[in-house]
Structure formats: structure tokens, C-alpha cells
Amino acid sequence: MAKNIIVEKIEYTPVEKQQVELVERKGIGHPDSIADGLSESVSRALCKMYIERYERVLHHNTDETQIVGGQSSPKFGGGDVLEPIYILLVGRATTEVNGERLPYRSTAVKAANDYLKAHFPNLDLDTDIMLDCKIGKGSVDLTAVYDSKKHLSNDTSFGVGYAPYSQTEKVVLETERYINGAMKRRIKESGEDVKVMAARMGDTINLTIACAMVDRYIPDKSHYVSTIEDMRSKIHDFACKQTDLNINVDVNTADDYKRGVYYLTVTGLSMENGDDGSVGRGNRCNGLITPYRPMSMEASAGKNPITHVGKLYNILSKFIAEDIAKAAGPELLEVEVRILSQIGKPINNPQTCSVQILPAPGANFKKWQKEATSIADNWLENIDTVTKKIVNGEITVF
């Protein structure tokens, strides 16, 4: 049965046909992405703890992690972290059940440490980080809503998704993954704090890459310069394989070799020297920042995966849009999905699920209107599938 699903045809110039397109991705080592990653890892750890003890996920939201940048003194051959980075885990959780206190803080701290250790090899957790946890008990009214077996929405909010990705979006997403993946195995001098910004103008994509470099692996200025050029060449070759558009690549454009300005870090992370981070200020749940597309301002990372529509509906919208676009292929140029909840109402029965499709010339709109309705209805009916994927770590939310 359809659940307030409205599918309509839209008419505008598709993103890929527009003259200008801007796309950004903050890599896993960006302070905002680290805040997202920590919040999500803590949430998953709490989910697993609750499930092991009570066979269900209890109320929690850990989506307020804050990072306060430290101070460092990088230099060729290796510098020092002078003042540690301060990380504050903030949020609400179920802290007690039937009079039994739960190890929610130790669970959160372990999850955060495990995440940092797994992703940032140049970070010394003993000296470079001060990790603090202030997660407390959730508010009574929201907890009551959450505890309902009917899985009622805990907020009146909306989620947004779209498909398919444009060529520019694919290039940005895959380029950051390449820099922090295959390329890093060949160029250990590159750190994890990477930002990729693309400006497509016509048929040319201009990529601007900012990458923190690890000083201990760079003995002098000439080594730095040659490494940056090697990176630029490898990134260009990789990006060109992702698209038939023209590619230009610039790396660390704030460097000024004549003045002795280099993007050097001790840990490969800019948060070692003043850069702060917060949950929700970076990538949306599709991994990108896309000002030419519809976006929600909700932070997905760290929100509970059962009733928090700020998380569920953004992910669900993305899945619905992707499935519709995949089914239609070239017959639909773009698909946009927006789902709005109403607090206290079942999450699988939203106030509205708006699906907008842009048919290709000659495409059968009625056919895809019916198909889109069916796909959206099926996802809403099986929204618990999204929850399971989140808890199992199968979904990246930033």
C-alpha cells in the first residue's frame, strides 16, 4: 500500500547539461569527517552493546562530537605535537535499565579509540589526543517516543536523496578514495586530511586537492616538491580514467615555495594545529557536498538508526532514488526524493514521500511514475532493512 507517495514529473536542465557544477568531498581525515566517523562508530558500538544485552537497540544519539584543534610544530624530517587535540564525545544514551547501570561511556571511549587507531596511523593516541566523554541520559519525552514498539518518528524532519551521480560527482568521490587508498600505499608522505573540490565548467573539470603531508617522511624541500608533483600526476591519471571530460589537477595551491610555505603536518591531520571539527558540517550521507543538488542540513552520523528520521530518511531517500534510477536507466535523467516525517507517527508512514523524476525525451512517464511509487513503497515498508545495514556498518553516512 502506497504511503503518501507522490511522483511527479519535473522539467529543468539536468546538472550535467548545466554550464557550471561544483562538487566537494572532505576526506576521512578532515576534522569534520573525523567528528562524523567518531560519532557513527560510537553509535554502532552502543547499538551492539544494547543488542547483546537486551536484543534490541535502545535510545541514544551521539551526533554532537566536537573536535578542538591542538598545536604542532611540523618540520622536514619530523616535528612535534605541542598541545594535544581535544575530542569531546557528546550526546544522549540509555544509561540504566531496570536499575542496572550500563557501561555506555567505556563502550563509547573504546569505540572512539578503535576508530582513530584504525584510520590514522601517524596519530599517537597516547600523546596527540585528549579524549573526553560527556554522553548522558536522554530526555524523557523523546525517550518515551523512541521506546514505542511501533517505531514512531522522534522528530518532524525531512531527508533528501538523488540519483544518478554526475560524472563530476563520481570523479570527486573516487578521487578522494584513491588518494586515501591505493595512492597512499605508494606515497606514504601523504596524510589522511584530504579535501577534493571540483569546478566543472563546460566539459572541463578543475580539481583542487588539499592534502596534509606527513613531515617525518619528507627530509627536505626538494623531496616535498617532487612528491607533490608525483601526486598531481598520479591523481590526474586516475581522474582521467573516471570520465570522458577534460581534467585539470592542482595540489596544495596555498604552498609558496619562495616564502617557505608548505602544507606540512606531524600527524597527516590539520586538526593537530588549530583546525576544529563538528558533526554534520561536512559531507552529506552520500559522501559529497553538492550545492547544485537538493541537500538536507541534518547530520546523519551518530543519530540512532531506529527512529531518528534525520538519519533514516536521508539514507532511505538515497536508496529509493538510486533504485528508481537503476531500474529506469537512460529513460530517467534525474531522480530526486524528499521524505518528511511527523513526530510521534510511524516512521514507515511519512507525512509525504515526494519523488520527482526528469524523463528523457520520449520516455514513458506513466510507466516510471508507477514503478517509482512501487519502489518507494517497498523501501518504506522494509525500512528496518536500513537500520540493520547501519548497525552492521554496511552504510557510510559521510
Q: What is the CATH number of the domain that holds 269?
A: 3.30.300.340
pLDDT tens across the length of the chain (398 residues): 457 999 999 999 999 999 999 999 999 999 999 999 999 999 999 999 999 998 889 989 999 999 999 999 999 999 999 999 999 999 999 998 888 899 999 999 999 999 999 999 999 999 999 999 999 885 444 555 566 556 888 889 999 999 999 999 999 999 999 999 999 999 999 999 999 999 999 999 999 999 999 999 999 999 999 999 999 999 999 999 999 999 999 999 999 999 999 999 999 999 999 899 999 999 999 999 999 999 999 999 999 999 899 999 999 999 999 999 999 999 999 999 999 999 999 999 999 999 999 999 999 999 999 999 999 999 999 999 999 999 999 999 99
Core vs surface per residue 38-61: b (16+ CB within 10 A) or e: bbbbbbbbbbbbbeeeeeebbbbb
> Does 177 lie in the same domain as 112?
no
Q: Are 339 and 162 in contact (CB under 8 A)?
A: no
Number of domains within the chain: 3
Q: Do 257 and 311 lie in a common domain?
A: no
Strand pairing category for 246-251 and 80-83: unpaired
User: Does an H or E element contain 316, and which?
Assistant: helix 309-328
Does 159 share its domain with 175? no
Is 26 part of a structural domain of the chain? no
Residue 307 CA: distances (Å) to CA of 136, 138, 205, 358, 388:
19, 14, 40, 31, 13
Q: Identify whether 25 is part of a domain.
A: no
Taking residue 157's Cβ as centre, other Cβ atoms within 10 Å add up to 21
- Same domain (yes/no): 289, 370: yes
- 75 occurs within a structural domain: yes
Q: Which domain holds residue 354?
A: 5-15+155-165+281-391
136 and 173 share one domain: no
Report the distance separating Cα 350 and Cα 363, nearest Å: 29
Q: For residues 295, 24, 177 and 300, what is the CA-based torsion angle, rounded to 10 degrees?
A: -30
Residue 397 lies in a domain: no
